[in-house]
């Protein structure tokens, strides 16, 4: 008998439907001729508790830390014992086993750890399914690989699981026990990934809290040229009082210049005119989809993941969603017209987009060299029954279809102009853009980035008609949202302060994985470290106090980003799982020495006392900057702009 072990029942049913033999159901399995398909229920096994290694570690004690297993053990999850018993019985009868976990790091671990836990020693093949429709599953079944080829992926997943256990068990116990000494009654959870993510939010909240706004004063001029009028902005030089972004922070020089400008004559000193081509955004990875869906529809990262799983498993409308790839296999290109035609069949907007698609085009999205264990999210070609889809499912489905459809639209072509005018020995700059060919852009937005300028000629004379000074105010950085936090986790190098570490990070290095990022955010919310305020994610007093009390190495992303990089190296076959684990253990010894009840007590008290500080500080700053000023001509109303600090 050949035994196929799928990750979930939905995948098992899809595999059984693609096999000959009718598919006779029995307890926990489907029999299809000489092949039996069974399934896991997510993880059937978990890392054993500390007391499984030593009963003395059932009690939490600082003098027992760190707990480091000499030989690792797994234990059945309480709700999974029945299905594990089914697989145990079937695997004893199997002449061959097919590993059909999801095509990612965790999918490799989830099924392989069951196979090894049950001591199966026969041949193991690997089935990679990314599309649950019958033809796609049948094609996958015809291309089985050896599971041995995926051992680096398994070793990386196993190293991740053990690292999370070591880090979470030891540091959570250490800071929880320290918290009790500081007067906090409750578990203080510390995690290898969740804590640096919490640290990102706490530091952003602190920057917002400590931000003091100040005014600055842009000066505009309306200029008449040979073939029209335009608005330009003064570019003050360093002899003026400027901030670190080149903004004028005293009004007097702007007012003095504005008074002299009306009627002033000058010339167009510099002119740059370029035609630019911009290709369509690539098809989505899960994280990229979570970012866009959060921005467009206000959906949380976890909601997007849940919706994608429903579109994949229940409706069979999209391919495997937990992907970190934004490219598609080249063999999918000839099938794209058919799959997009099916996906668009029952929706007026999608059908309209389909009519404009040119399937003779080939974008850079079709690239086998960029595709690993899984590819970008794409429609399967099944026609959607929008009557059975929820509003969120329909919204996310259209996004997935749109980004693949956009690959068959021409590039966006624009004509961009940058002009610098010299008036009264000062420089004034203007920029504009005209659309030559909208290409793919109407599928995404109808808004133009900037209006066009009139036709210009290098060196032509100009004359000022009006001038004015605006009063704007700097703003603090925006709080994190699901969209911006997922993007930060994807591109963590931007938040790494150590320049040496930043240099070692690749663009693809991040915190967490496609499959775990949404769960990390929700875990922080559930544990009382984060709250959602409208779309914003803000740290609670407890979350702020914990980050303040922890060593910086635990709450900043540098170390975890490097660990994720090493895990990627293990998965690619270039890293050493044992060396990774030993380095983590060495770090643990140093970190545990830094637990300090006095510091934690002080952090908790400080967090309690800062609730009213931001509003009071901003009110005081605005009062100090609120002196009356005069304006030249028809100046727009007072505005604010965000500081990049």
Give dist(CA 202, CA 205) in Å, integer: 5
Is a pLDDT exceeding 70 seen at residue 62? Answer: yes
Q: Which of 408, 441, 457 is at the close of a domain?
A: 408
Quote the pLDDT of residue 627.
42
Is a pLDDT exceeding 50 seen at residue 635? Answer: no
Give the strand order in the sheet containing 215-216: 215-216, 472-475, 639-642
- For 22: left if phi > 0, alpha if psi spans -120 to 50, otherwise beta; the answer is left
Same domain? For 402 and 417 the reply is no
Structure-token match 């936090």, residue found: 485
Residue 642 pLDDT level (bands cut at 50, 70, 90): very low
Structure-token match 């009557």, residue found: 387
Mean pLDDT of all residues in 558-585: 91
Q: Of 117, 25, 122, which is closest to residue 80 (Cα–Cα)? A: 117
SS3 644: coil
Residue 620 pLDDT level (bands cut at 50, 70, 90): low
Quote the pLDDT of residue 391.
96
Q: Is residue 454 part of a domain?
A: yes
The domain total for the chain is: 4
Output the six-digit token pair for 194. Answer: 């969740």
CATH of the domain at 36: 3.40.50.140
Instruction: Report DSSP letters for 73-109, one per residue.
Output: -EEE-GGGHHHHHHHHHHHHH-SEEEEE--SSHHHHH
Catalytic one among 217, 312, 320, 495? 320
Q: Of 315, 329, 317, 433, which is closest to residue 375 (Cα–Cα)? A: 329
Residue 497 pLDDT level (bands cut at 50, 70, 90): confident
Same domain? For 420 and 274 the reply is yes
Q: Is residue 294 part of a domain?
A: no
Give dist(CA 474, CA 331) in Å, integer: 51
Structure-token match 């779309």, residue found: 535
Same domain? For 373 and 459 the reply is no
Phi, psi angle pair for 617, to nearest 5°: -65, -45
Q: Which of 408, 435, 450 is at the close of a domain?
A: 408
Name the DSSP letter for residue 638: P
Quote the pLDDT of residue 610.
56
Give dist(CA 134, CA 143) in Å, integer: 15
Output the six-digit token pair for 211. Answer: 């931000």
Phi, psi angle pair for 377, to nearest 5°: -70, 140
Q: Is residue 619 part of a domain?
A: no
Structural domain harbouring 185: 158-210+478-611
Is a pLDDT exceeding 80 seen at residue 483? Answer: yes
CATH of the domain at 339: 1.10.290.10
Same domain? For 133 and 24 the reply is yes
Contact 285, 487 (CB under 8 A): no
Q: Is residue 344 part of a domain?
A: yes
- The 3-class secondary structure across 249-303, one letter per residue, is CCHHHHHHHHHHCCCCEEEEEEEEEEEEEECCCCCCCHHHHHHHHHHHHCCCHHH
Q: Which of 408, 426, 460 is at the close of a domain?
A: 408
Give dist(CA 395, CA 400) in Å, integer: 9
Measured in whole angstroms, the distance separating CA 125 from the mean position of its chain's CA atoms is: 32
Give the β-pairing of 219-225 and 228-234.
antiparallel
Residue 186, judged by CB atoms within 10 A of its CB (0-12, 13-18, 19+), counts as exposed
Same domain? For 419 and 274 the reply is yes
Mean pLDDT of all residues in 476-493: 94
Other beta carbons less than 10 A from residue 505's beta carbon: 20
Give the β-pairing of 472-475 and 639-642.
parallel
Residue 629 pLDDT level (bands cut at 50, 70, 90): very low
pLDDT, tens digit, 9 for 90 and up, residues 426-453? 999 999 999 999 999 999 986 666 789 9
Dmax over Cα atoms in the chain, in whole Å? 94
Neighbouring-strand partners of residue 431: 418
Same domain? For 44 and 90 the reply is yes
Give dist(CA 523, CA 569) in Å, integer: 27
pLDDT, tens digit, 9 for 90 and up, residues 232-252? 999 999 899 999 999 999 999
Mean per-residue pLDDT over the chain, rounded:
91
Same domain? For 135 and 17 the reply is yes
Q: Is residue 240 part of a domain?
A: yes
Quote the pLDDT of residue 621.
47
Residue 23 pLDDT level (bands cut at 50, 70, 90): confident
Phi, psi angle pair for 530, to nearest 5°: -130, 155
Is a pLDDT exceeding 60 seen at residue 624? Answer: no
Is a pLDDT exceeding 90 seen at residue 609? Answer: no
Output the six-digit token pair for 491. Answer: 């591109």
312 tagged catalytic = no
Quote the pLDDT of residue 633.
39
Contact 469, 632 (CB under 8 A): yes
Q: Is residue 632 part of a domain?
A: no
Q: Of 502, 457, 68, which is closest to residue 225 (Cα–Cα)? A: 457
pLDDT, tens digit, 9 for 90 and up, residues 355-364? 999 999 999 9
pLDDT, tens digit, 9 for 90 and up, residues 74-125? 999 989 999 999 999 999 999 999 999 988 888 999 999 999 999 999 999 9
Q: Is residue 175 part of a domain?
A: yes
CATH of the domain at 541: 1.10.460.10
Same domain? For 165 and 181 the reply is yes
pLDDT, tens digit, 9 for 90 and up, residues 202-231? 999 999 999 999 999 999 999 999 999 999
Contact 29, 3 (CB under 8 A): no
Give dist(CA 11, CA 129) in Å, integer: 8
Other beta carbons less than 10 A from residue 593's beta carbon: 10
Contact 481, 536 (CB under 8 A): yes
Instruction: Report DSSP letters for 463-495, one per residue.
Output: EEEEEEE--EEEEPPPPPBHHHHHHHHHTGGGG
Quote the pLDDT of residue 409.
98
Contact 29, 4 (CB under 8 A): no
Q: Is residue 643 part of a domain?
A: no
Neighbouring-strand partners of residue 617: none
Structure-token match 């105010």, residue found: 473
Is a pLDDT exceeding 50 seen at residue 494? Answer: yes
pLDDT, tens digit, 9 for 90 and up, residues 153-181? 999 999 999 999 999 999 999 999 999 99
Quote the pLDDT of residue 193.
92
Same domain? For 374 and 453 the reply is no
CATH of the domain at 262: 2.70.20.10
Give dist(CA 443, CA 431) in Å, integer: 25
Same domain? For 383 and 427 the reply is no
pLDDT, tens digit, 9 for 90 and up, residues 510-568? 888 888 899 999 999 999 999 999 889 999 999 999 999 999 999 999 988 888 889 98
Q: b/e per residue, 478-502, with b = 16+ CB within 10 A?
A: ebbbbbbbbbbbbbbbebbeeeebe
Q: Flag the least confident range among 381-385, 387-391, 420-424, 616-620.
A: 616-620
First CA to last CA distance, the chain:
64
Please state the length of the chain.
645
Residue 614 pLDDT level (bands cut at 50, 70, 90): very low
Question: How much is the CA Rg of the chain, to the nearest whole Å?
Answer: 30
SS3 536: strand
Say what percent of the chain tops pLDDT 90: 79
Residue 619 pLDDT level (bands cut at 50, 70, 90): low
SS3 216: strand
Quote the pLDDT of residue 618.
46
Same domain? For 31 and 55 the reply is yes
Same domain? For 489 and 423 the reply is no
């Amino acid at each position: 008998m050949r035994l196929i072990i799928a990750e979930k029942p939905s995948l098992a049913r899809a595999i059984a439907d693609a096999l000959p033999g009718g598919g006779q159901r029995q307890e926990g399995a489907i029999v299809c001729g000489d092949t039996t398909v069974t399934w896991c229920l997510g993880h059937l096994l978990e890392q054993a508790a500390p007391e499984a290694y030593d009963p003395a570690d059932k009690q939490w004690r600082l003098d027992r830390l760190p707990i480091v297993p000499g030989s690792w053990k797994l234990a059945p999850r309480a709700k999974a014992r029945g299905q594990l018993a089914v697989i145990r019985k079937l695997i004893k009868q199997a002449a061959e086993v097919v590993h059909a976990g999801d095509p990612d790091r965790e999918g490799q671990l989830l099924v392989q750890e069951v196979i090894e836990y049950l001591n199966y020693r026969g041949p193991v093949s690997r089935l990679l399914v990314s599309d649950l429709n019958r033809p796609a599953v049948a094609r996958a079944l015809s291309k089985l690989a050896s599971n041995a080829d995926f051992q680096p992926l398994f070793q990386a997943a196993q190293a991740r699981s053990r690292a999370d256990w070591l880090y979470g068990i030891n540091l959570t116990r250490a800071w929880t026990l320290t918290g009790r000494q500081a007067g906090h009654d409750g578990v203080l959870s510390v995690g290898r990934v969740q804590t640096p993510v919490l640290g990102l939010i706490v530091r952003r909240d602190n920057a917002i809290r400590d931000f003091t706004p100040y005014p600055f004063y842009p000066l505009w001029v309306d200029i008449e040229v040979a073939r029209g009028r335009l608005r330009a902005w003064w570019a003050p030089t360093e002899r003026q009082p400027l901030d670190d972004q080149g903004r004028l922070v005293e009004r007097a020089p702007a007012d003095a210049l504005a008074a002299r400008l009306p009627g002033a004559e000058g010339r167009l000193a510099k002119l740059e005119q370029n035609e630019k081509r911009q290709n369509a955004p690539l098809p989505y990875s899960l994280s990229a989809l979570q970012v866009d869906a959060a921005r467009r529809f206000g959906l949380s990262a976890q909601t997007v993941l849940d919706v994608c799983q429903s579109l994949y498993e229940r409706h069979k409308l999209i391919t495997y969603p937990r992907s970190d790839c934004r490219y598609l296999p080249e063999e999918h290109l000839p099938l794209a017209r058919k799959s997009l035609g099916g996906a668009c069949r029952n929706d007026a907007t999608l059908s309209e987009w389909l009519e404009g698609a040119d399937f003779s085009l080939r974008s850079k999205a079709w690239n086998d060299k960029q595709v690993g264990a899984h590819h970008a999210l794409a429609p399967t070609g099944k026609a959607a029954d929008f009557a059975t889809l929820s509003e969120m499912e329909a919204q996310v489905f259209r996004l997935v279809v749109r980004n693949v459809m956009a690959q068959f639209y021409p590039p966006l072509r624009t004509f961009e102009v940058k002009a610098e005018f010299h008036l009264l020995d000062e420089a004034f700059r203007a920029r504009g853009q005209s659309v030559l060919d909208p290409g793919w852009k109407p599928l995404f937005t109808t808004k133009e980035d900037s209006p066009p300028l009139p036709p210009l000629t290098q060196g032509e004379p100009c004359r000022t008609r009006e001038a004015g000074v605006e009063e704007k105010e700097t703003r603090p950085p925006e709080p994190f949202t699901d969209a911006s936090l997922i993007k930060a986790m994807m591109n963590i190098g931007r938040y790494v302060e150590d320049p040496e570490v930043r240099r070692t990070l690749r663009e693809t290095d991040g915190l967490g994985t496609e499959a775990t990022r949404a769960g990390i955010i929700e875990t922080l919310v559930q544990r009382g470290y984060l709250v959602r305020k409208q779309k914003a994610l803000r740290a609670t007093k407890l979350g702020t106090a914990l980050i303040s009390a922890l060593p910086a190495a635990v709450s900043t992303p540098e170390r975890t980003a490097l660990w994720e990089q090493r895990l990627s190296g293990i998965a690619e076959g270039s890293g050493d799982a044992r060396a990774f684990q030993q380095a983590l253990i060495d770090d643990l010894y140093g970190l545990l020495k830094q637990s300090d009840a006095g510091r934690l007590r002080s952090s908790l008290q400080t967090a309690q006392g800062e609730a009213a500080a931001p509003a009071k500080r901003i009110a005081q700053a605005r009062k100090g900057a609120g002196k009356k000023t005069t304006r030249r001509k028809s100046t727009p109303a007072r505005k604010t702009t965000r500081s990049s600090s």
